[in-house]
Amino acid sequence: MQRTLAGRPAVITGAASGIGRSLAQRLSRLGSPVAIADVDEAGLAETARSLSGPVLSRVLDVRDAGDVRRFAEETRDWLSLPVAAVFNNAGVATYSTVLDSVPEDDSWLFDIDYWGVVNGTRAFLPLLLERNYGVIVNTSSVYGLVGMPKQSAYCAAKFAVRGFTDSLRQELRGTGVSAVTVHPGGIKTNIVRNGRIHAELDERGRSLEQIAADFDRIALTTPDKAAEIIHRGVERGKARILVGPDAYVFDALARIAPTHYFSVMARLVER
């Protein structure tokens, strides 16, 4: 189902930086009123100042289902046009083996990366169904396609987002509302620096800054490019959007070598 987003209202969580900020800026330049939310008040204010059109800015913790519902109500009251797209984009990261994992960190991540998506979907979906129009866009990851060492909590949450959105897509068949899953590869954002990364658990003895710098070196896609790919994918009616060349590699390896992809990737890295 093809859609035009330019000029139509959009909702974006995780908009204080990264992909969320770039999506807000891109859609705002195209004439869309945007309702943006994030727990980072300073970053959110900076995003709001960078936008060229109407904006509703709300400091929001996506873990709070009640507050997300209130944000949906505020958005509905603020807009004169129906919401065309809801980007459930807020996300965080951890870094630990299963054996050394900190349960509180895993719960923190899952509450944001999975339940934040669920809360945003449940809060805004009635608005879309009321008009029988719009799209829910949920951010998973390439780690929602493959499992990776020291990413058990992140992979679990992103696989859950994938399954949740795939199920929602089937429930919406026959309506004017659709559901899209986004699988970004490495995007040059602050997700590592802002995560709960226990550098003391790194077998190479890297500090947090070194881990983040290594991530920056292998991240192939800028947030602006990611926003462009996501925007175009939604408009073209894609049900799943792979973001970045590495996302296509992960997807192919998961299909070709579903139980041995990590060994294949390790050999590629060595070469």
| 95 has catalytic annotation | no
Task: Please pick, among 114, 143, 154, 261, the residue that the annotation labels catalytic.
Answer: 154
Q: What are the CA-CA distances from residue 12 to residues 33, 84, 88 (Å)?
A: 11, 11, 6
Count CB-CB contacts under 10 A for residue 200.
9
Q: Which of 14, 181, 215 is nearest to 95 (CA)?
A: 215
Q: How far is CA 68 from CA 33, 77, 188, in A?
A: 19, 14, 27
CB atoms within 10 A of CB 92: 21
Q: Which of 213, 144, 150, 149 is nearest to 184 (CA)?
A: 144
Judge residue 187's burial from the number of C-beta atoms within 10 Å of its C-beta, 0-12 exposed, 13-18 middle, 19 or more buried.
Answer: buried
The catalytic residue positions are: 154
